[in-house]
Amino acid sequence: MKLTLSKWLKRLVLLSILLFSVYLYYLNNLVKAEFLKPLTSAHSTLSLEQQPKVLLNMLLLVEDQSFFNHPGVDVKEIVRVLRDYWLYDKPIRGASTLTQQLIKNTLLTREQTLSRKFNEVLMALLLESAFDKDFILNRYMNTVYLAQQGNKAIYGFEKGAKFYFNQPISTLSAEEMATLVALVKGPDYYHPIKQAQRLAKRRQLVLTIYHKFEKIVK
């Protein structure tokens, strides 16, 4: 008996769902395996309670104000970015959440492709379904790339504080913490020596946002 077009389409849809489910299972295992691993000596290892509240608020206010409300992807922010781009001719800007940034920094490359972005979104949703917000936020703060010292990379705000200021993060001033948050966007692009003016402008933006808006973490 010949299959009708509708039956072929139904089988195709079922096959697509099955393949997507298998792919999600693979990504879920990949995410869990990575984030169940303990941090290495190359990373900062502070608990969330040890992270200064000033630093927490600066990071969230500048990078992801809706962190505690979205499921890993901020759909509203993506819509705003596209609206501003198409309707008001504003330059396209990033709309990645801290969760997406953590996934990209940990498991993916920085290539600008739709497939990489698609994987980033899926894995961010899976990460949020497997771990709580406090874990994700603290993991980000302990693993974010902040500097390069020869062949050694500097990861996490605590190690960044010691590298740039020779102090633990808990003793830094608000301006020094703002410097570290500014460097999240790119330690090379905002290099403290080669791009001092650029870094100063970004640091001032961080401080302005921090003093203007309400705190997210009390």
Domains of the chain as residue ranges with CATH: 42-212 (1.10.3810.10)
pTM: predicted TM-score of the whole model, two decimal places: 0.89
Q: Both tokens of residue 137? A: 């936020």
Mean pLDDT over the full length of the chain: 90
Phi then psi for 8, rounded to 5 degrees? -60, -45
Residue 154 to residue 146: CA distance in whole angstroms: 6
More confident residue, 76 or 43: 43
Residue 204 to residue 198: CA distance in whole angstroms: 10
Per-residue pLDDT tens digits for 46-99: 999 999 999 999 999 999 999 999 999 988 877 776 676 666 666 545 578 999
Highest mean pLDDT among 13-17, 75-79, 111-115, 174-178: 174-178
Q: What is the DSSP letter of 150?
A: T
3-state secondary structure of 154: strand
Residue 170 to residue 161: CA distance in whole angstroms: 9
3-state secondary structure of 152: strand
- Work out the number of other CB atoms within 10 angstroms of the CB of residue 190: 20
Ramachandran bin of 28, using left for φ above 0, alpha for ψ from -120 to 50, beta for the remaining angles: alpha
Q: Are 43 and 156 in contact (CB under 8 A)?
A: yes
- Long-range (24+ apart) CB contacts under 8 A made by 24-30 are 24/122, 24/126, 27/119, 27/122, 27/123, 27/126, 28/126, 28/130, 30/107, 30/123
Q: Is the predicted pLDDT of residue 28 greater than 90, yes or no?
A: yes
* Least confident among 54-63, 89-98, 131-140, 142-151: 89-98
| Helical segments of the chain, H only | 5-35, 53-63, 75-88, 98-107, 114-130, 133-143, 157-165, 174-183, 196-212
Q: Both tokens of residue 165? A: 């200021």
